[in-house]
Structure formats: structure tokens, C-alpha cells
Structure 1
């Protein structure tokens, strides 16, 4: 059995410097040389293999096992969830349901401050939960422009609003990945995120109103902002605390939109705010039945995810449950019981294949059932959309797989532990800077998922050295990443394309950067505060 070295170079800072080479190379290749993510990741994986072999003395069989384990996790459950979620969204678009949804939302109110809460915040969170990967930013920014917003303002507002939902996109996949890579319980991580991120989430609706119409706008619409904040945070926080991350955005988005609609029945602002004083556009009107039918794919999705998230359903697949036979676990050659940590603990990691109780299966069934309510789509078109989804997402999936391969080799070679030991030298103040790592990771990769894949294990290792809860630093990595998504080049490019400003991304960046940095500072200070209160 091979044992990970605690300090392969004999000097801890030098060992950490060698261990960080592949990650630093990946970032440099992206930022300085502007290579594609896949090419940069391929080169970085090759560098990680060299470091693991040369500096850490990791056997080739163990490197292959660690890389294979990362590849398997990329396919199942991560890519499975992503493909199914985006497929369902594409079905809604292809059937015409989504156009009805957009019209119904846009026609609720003419006041742009309320539209921001309804569309950028509520509807954006719903789309983030259903699909993620830039979908909410693109759709909501385009819809705001259609409703008369200036393009730069529309793009910037949607980027800022996404902070409240970005940590739980695509059925909670960033949290699931963070827990998986960091080796912590998903439910524990979800509850820590409630403590860390929910205070900022509660403030986002107020911030959005102020961005659009300043203090006067907040004085006139504080009731709407408060109503949306309470509804959204209560549902999102409750889902995270009791169920997990899968429904955190879907349920909260629906609650926020419902709160706006219900409040509109009994209250309206005294002054209707429109940028530049323009008239609201005339949108097509739809019957209640048409609107209800258009939303049906997402009702169905919520229902399936809810069932899959309930404790009694999960217990069916527990080791002693009646459906335990449907959970298949496999040892990883070269890794399972072939590697031990520097502390002498054997790695017993196995890969689980769960075809029935996987979240992706819940989304698959929701898509199939929902397609029955889409008479405009033939069976051939339904499966054609699935093929197109896979074709459009293969680059994102390949990048996730490569990053997971790199991360797993770094973890099981001992590289992450060495980096964590060096970072621990910062001491108790490390939680103050932990979110910055997540912010930087998402700024570079454009994805909270990729960010957690790269840095979750590093955060866990550091947490153990300095005596704070590992879930807190993974949560900090996730929350910092959500604020970094506001100005990541990928997000800015999506927003610019959606509002017709391609080539003028710098305008959006300048408008959004201070909000991103301000929210990051809030998360940094709050993380440090929690680190002094929560037991390790």
C-alpha cells in the first residue's frame, strides 16, 4: 500500500508550491494565453500526472485509479443531472410553453422595480434551479430588455440577482459536487450554507431596487422587496435545511413570483417607475389555462424532485432498505485499499451507481411525463431535443470531467493536503480569505461547480488544520463563487449576447464589479464571524 507524503520536498512551502503548479497552470492558460477550457485542462491534467509521479512518488496505478474515479463521478451523477435538467428546459422552449411563461410574467406589472423582483430575482432563481449554466442570465436579461430596460442595466441586474441562486443551480449540483469532492455530508453542507449565505440572499432584492431607482425607489417599494425577501429566503432556507439543495432554487423562485403576484392584488406602488419615462410594451395575453399548462413541466419537475428528496424515499435505498439492491458500489482499481493518507488511514473510496434514486432519474421521469402535456412535440422531437442537449453540452461535460480528474489525482496524491497544510500557516484568520478562493475560482472557470471541484478538498484540508468546520469553508468557497459569477467572463459574455451588446462586455463588467466585490467582502467577514462561533 502506498502512503501519501506529508512533505515530499522537505520544505513545506516548497512542497505546496510544487503541488499548486497544475492548478496555477490551468488558470494561467485560461487568463494569459486564453486557451479553451478543454485544452487548458488537458495540459493541466498532464502536469498533475507529472507532479504526482515525480514529486509525490505516486504509483502509476494509483494515478490511473484516481483519474478514473474522477471521470466516473463526472459522468454519474453530475453530467446526468445537468443533461436531464437542460433537456427539460429545452422541451419547454420547443413546445412553445416557455414563450407563454415569459409573456405571463412580463404582463404582471408595468413598474420596472417590481419587474426586477419578479423576473431577475424570482424567475431567474427558478431557471437557475431548473437548468443553470447561464440560462437564467440570458433569458431574464433578454426579457427585461423586451420590457423596456436599458441593455447594460438589464444585464448587470440579472448578474447581481443570480447571487441568491447561483450556489444551487441545476438541481443543486454545485453543493452536491462540493460535498462529494470535500468528503462531507450534503445535508450538513446545505445547512451551513443557510447560516452563511442566507443573510446576503435576504438583502439582494433591496439591492436590486436600489440599483434601479435609488433610495427613493426603495422607500416606495420596500414592502414588495420585503415580501419577496421573506418568501424567497423562507422557502430556500427551509428546503436547504430539511431537504437538501435540489429544490432550493425551484421552490424559492416559485415562492418569490407568487409573492409578487399576490401582493399585487392588494397593493401597488403610488408611482409607476419606467426608465426614461417610456411606455410599457404590449405583450400577448393568455388565458389562465394556457398559463397553467405552460408552467406544468416545472410543476411536474418540482413534484418529482420533492419525492426524491424526502427522507422516507432515501431510506428505501439505505443499506437495510427494501431497495438497497438497486444501489451498486464498485471498488476503484489502484485506489481502493491501495492508498493511505500521511496519517496512515487507508482510502476505502468506492463509486456508487444509483440508477433509481439518482436526482437525474427524477428529472428524466419529469421530462417524460411533462412531454405528454406538450401536444406540439412528437416523440421523435422529444428525443431529438435530448440528442441536441448532449451535443450542446459535451464541451461543458468534458471540462468538468477533466477538472475532476485533475482534482482527484491532486487529492489522492496528497497534493491538496500539502497545500492545505501550507495555507493553515495563515492561522485562524484563514476563514476571512477562504471565500476569495471561491470568487477567484468562478471568475476563472465561470462555474460554481468547477470551482468546488478544484478547491473544495483544499478548503477541507485547511479547515482540519486550523480547527474550523470543513463544511463552513466549502460553503465559503461556494458562496464566494456565487459572488464571483457576477463578473466571470463567461457570465458577462452570456449577458452581453442576450442584450445585444456582444463586443461591449467591458461596459457590463464596469457596472457590475463593485457589487460583486461588495458582496464578496460581506461573505468574507461573515465567514470569519461564523468560524469563531461554530464548533469544529
Structure 2
């Protein structure tokens, strides 16, 4: 039996928190400053976390290694199980030629790539987050953004930043439901308070996407579409969080937001034109190092569009007009959208309470062997229990969606199997990164390192509400999951708030609201985004690109929560 301690270094909360933070500080420094490959940075952080756990916290070697093994297992299932099957679906759309059909279909919605990017990354990504979560939106939206012509780096960056505001109610409301369970607070109050924080963020995220897509010009020329997108999403998210079923909050917000933008496009067009994308060192959009296609065009570009070609001998170039492409039939367009329609339909079905209950009976839950750990108060830790939802998990749903996709797109069996094999090869380094990061997170959680840092921040007294979103941000950045962050720090937020005389509902909600901003810099999510677009090993570059967004939004969220703890905005607290 190992009982956690929170102040192992000279009984000092400050020094203990500093030592506990060393694995994470090294991890992010290696990623963002030294530019070490993500898998190597993650393994280095894991070794440091194990060293601190054993040498500083006095955790026995056996439980320390056992907690790392449990975290690695969680990285393989469900995290990588989801990503593998999501990218497999994409590979089959390339093999069948429907990836290009999809690109042309989005061009008909709007010929402006910036508008297309907002619709795909924010609206469609929010719908995927609402139904699946756990990296699915980043994996699928990244490759869809490449389909409209973005470079791999920009596609992954946009998908990561967009995957923020919907996260609080992602996976059919699981983060806020988990938060209510671990804190003992009423679900309706936790949901309502979260719905009075996160929607304000949703208003500005589409505008930030325009800056990434086209800088100030994009913001100046396309802001009406982004504002309509963010404002309608925020309004519906607020209404559903306060008055509707929590599980359908993001589903409704995503659908209404997309419909509002489409209605706007019937009467309004952007003032300028989206610039052509320049190669970013990856072969350009869908280039040689982009997502590897299976079969068909080896460059992943599909059939060439109308244009010119050069031919000739002895240095003489002759311009030859390429034959015009016949218009895509309605049946082909419908077939191109079928994989994503199947994904939405299947996740909607498994979210039905009766179906969810039936599938839950197949889930195996067991104590991880060799882990007997209690909190500083002597309570058993829930993290030692492993849940293997092999049938109800999102990855299995995506596997079924992939099989249906193969039939719908008429992909031969041999080609579908080849696509799966190529997907596994593409994700081999991401697998190391994700499993190492989750192993690091579990070691820090089991040993008490995470609790040490949380307790240090909780000692801020009257300033605690301002810092409470940082706890959620930190927890999600480490684990890659807002749900896990709420499990880690939800109870701590409540006890600290009660001790300092603040509303526990406010600080509990701040944990999940701050957590949505840690999603984009989580090494787990960075690895998923990089792997989806064929940039394994360049996670550090993505980290630097999204760091500015989290650096802007986190202080604003901290300020909002602080104002809600004062008489100025206390009327917002239920």
C-alpha cells in the first residue's frame, strides 16, 4: 500500500510543487525550445516522473512502474484505437478518389478557403467532439482541411485551436457529468455555470481561426462569417447548458452554428479572396510528407483539375490544355460525404440511453494489478481502476464506420486492408508519444505530484478563483482530457473554494472551462494532429504555433472567473 504525500520536500508546498513540476517543465522545454522529437521528449519526461516518484515521493518501484503501464495501456486504448480507425477512414476516401470529390463539394458551399476552414474545423469539429471526443475531431478535421487546400501544418494548427470551446460538453457531456460526480455538486448547477463561461470563449475562437488562416486580412474580410458562427454556437451552447439536456449541448450548438453560416452565405460573400497556400516544407497540402494515401494518385492529389500541362523534348516546352473534368454527379458527392455521415449516425445511435446501457454491459472494469494507492486522506484512488469498453468505445464505433465506408465507397477488401496497414505504419511514432505521455500523467497522478501542484495553487486564498482555471488547463495539458482533468482536480477545486469562502460551483466549473484551453497544447493531442497530417516528429512546431492562442485565451478566462467571484459579475453564479 502506498499513501500519497503532497509536501515531500522539506514539508514545503512551494519547493515540493517545483520539484513535482520538473518532468512537465522538461517535456515542454524539449518540445517548444530545444525542438526534440515528441516521442523522445515524452520518454524523457516519463523517466523524470518515475525518478521523482521513487526518489522524492518514496513511491515503491513496483507501483511506480505499474502506474506507468496503466497509463500506457490507456494511451493504446481508447486514445490510439480512436485515431487509427479515424485515419483509416480517411485513407479509404483517398484510395477511392472521393477525397477530391469532398474538396470540390466544400468549394461549392463557398469558394473561400477561410470560410470552409471555419465550417470544417469549428462546426463539424464541434459535432465530432460532441459525439466522440478523445482526439477524434483533430484526427478527422485535419485531413478534411487538407482536402480544401491547406498545408499540413496549418491544417493541424487550425484543428487544434478549434477543438477548445466544444470540449467542455464533449463526448455527450462526459466532462461536466464527471465533474458533478467527483464533486458531489448538482449536475444542473455545474452545467449552468460552465455554460456561463465557455460560450464567451466560443465567440472568439472562429475569429482566431481566421487569423491563423489568413492573418489580419482574413479577419478584416471574413469576420461576419466567423462572428455569426461563434455567436450562434455560444447562444445555443448557453441555452442548452442551462435549460436543455447536457448530453446534447454541443450537438445542437454545432448544427445551428453551421446552418447560420450557410444562411449567411446566401446573401453575403467575403470581400477578398483566400490566398493560395504555400508549401510548408511538407510537400504542401497533401504533399509527399502529408497524410500518406493508399492507391490512386501517389501524391494524394486525386485527378488533376482543369489547367495546363507542359510537354516537349530537347528543352522545348509546349503548353497543352488539360481536358475539362466532368462535373461530379450528385451520387458521387453524396458518397463522398457518406463516411462522415456514417460516423455521426453511429455515434448518435450509441448515445441513445437504451443502446448505451446495452453496450455498457460489455465493458470490463478491473483494478490494475499491483496498484494499491490511497490519497493523503487515506481514501482509495479511482485511477487504479481500468475500464476496457472494447465494444462501447469510440474507436470501435469508428472501426464499424470504416467497414461501412469501405462498402459505401466500393473499396476492395485488399485495398482496405492495405490502407489499415499503412495507417499503422504512419502512427508508429505517435504511438510511442501518446503512450509515454499518458504513462507520465498516470505516474504523476499516482505518486501525488499532480496533487502537490494543485494544492500549491489552492493555497492562493482570495486569489484562488483567478487561478482555478489554471488547474483545469494544467490537468488537461498533462492528460489530454478535460474529463481526466475534472477527475483530478474537481474535488480539490471545491474544497479550496469552501476554505477560501468562494462558491464551489464557480471554481468547479472553472476547472472544466480552463481545461478546454489545455487541450490544444496537450502532447497527446499534438501527436494526434501531427500523425493525422503526416507530420510525426514535428509536434514541437505545432506546439509553438498553438502556444500563442492558449497564451491569449487562458488569462481572459482567469479574468472572467475572477470577476464572477466579485460583486461585479457574481449575478452569473447560479
What TM-score bracket applies, with the shorter chain setting the length?
0.7 to 0.9
Question: Where in structure 2 are the equivalents of 1:93-242 lying within 5 Å?
Answer: 93-110=94-111, 114-115=115-116, 117-118=118-119, 121-122=122-123, 131-133=136-138, 136-137=141-142, 139-140=144-145, 143=148, 159=157, 163-166=161-164, 184=182, 194-205=195-206, 217=221, 222=224, 224-225=225-226, 227-229=228-230, 232-233=233-234, 242=245
1:404, 1:454 within 8 Å by CA — same for their partners in 2? no
Question: In the alignment, does 2:408 pair up with 1:407?
Answer: no
Question: Where in structure 2 are the equivalents of 1:341-490 lying within 5 Å?
Answer: 341-347=375-381, 349-375=384-410, 377-435=411-469, 450=480, 459-460=489-490, 462-467=492-497, 468=504, 471-481=508-518
SS of aligned partner of 1:344: coil
The CA distance in 1 between the partners of 2:390 and 2:337, in whole Å, is: 27
SS of aligned partner of 1:523: helix
The residue that corresponds to 2:2 in the other structure is: 2
SS of aligned partner of 2:109: coil
Give the Å deviation of 1:301: 0.8
Alignment: residue pair count: 495
- In structure 2, the gaps of 5 or more residues are 277-304, 307-324, 498-503
1:141, 1:155 within 8 Å by CA — same for their partners in 2? no
2:441, 2:479 within 8 Å by CA — same for their partners in 1? no
Give a deviation string over 1:318-374, Cα, whole Å, max 9, x none.
5xxxxx2x2222222221xx2221111123532122222222221111111121111
SS of aligned partner of 2:387: strand
Question: What RMSD over aligned residues (CA atoms) do the two structures have, in Å?
Answer: 4.7
TM-score after normalising by structure 2: 0.70
The residue that corresponds to 2:298 in the other structure is: none
Give a deviation string over 1:252-300, Cα, whole Å, max 9, x none.
66655544444445x245x8533699xxx97973232221111011111
Question: In the alignment, does 2:18 pair up with 1:17?
Answer: yes
The CA distance in 2 between the partners of 1:114 and 1:63, in whole Å, is: 48
The residue that corresponds to 1:274 in the other structure is: 273
- In structure 1, the gaps of 5 or more residues are 146-150, 319-323
Aligned with residue 557 of structure 2, among 523, 531, 535: 523
The CA distance in 1 between the partners of 2:110 and 2:147, in whole Å, is: 17
The CA distance in 2 between the partners of 1:400 and 1:365, in whole Å, is: 23
Change (3 A) 1:237 1:70: farther
Question: Where in structure 2 are the equivalents of 1:289-300 lying within 5 Å?
Answer: 289-300=331-342
The residue that corresponds to 1:148 in the other structure is: none
2:9, 2:56 within 8 Å by CA — same for their partners in 1? yes
Give a deviation string over 1:362-391, Cα, whole Å, max 9, x none.
11111111211112x210111221122122
Change (3 A) 1:433 1:82: same
The residue that corresponds to 2:312 in the other structure is: none
Change (3 A) 1:300 1:448: farther
SS of aligned partner of 1:372: helix
Change (3 A) 1:391 1:113: closer
The CA distance in 1 between the partners of 2:271 and 2:478, in whole Å, is: 37
Change (3 A) 1:334 1:386: same
SS of aligned partner of 2:8: coil
The residue that corresponds to 1:306 in the other structure is: 348
The CA distance in 2 between the partners of 1:312 and 1:407, in whole Å, is: 34
Judge which range, 419-428 or 301-310, deviates more. 419-428
The CA distance in 2 between the partners of 1:191 and 1:71, in whole Å, is: 35
The CA distance in 2 between the partners of 1:215 and 1:329, in whole Å, is: 49
Judge which range, 70-79 or 470-479, deviates more. 470-479
The CA distance in 2 between the partners of 1:436 and 1:61, in whole Å, is: 32
Give the Å deviation of 1:142: 7.0
The CA distance in 1 between the partners of 2:198 and 2:217, in whole Å, is: 25
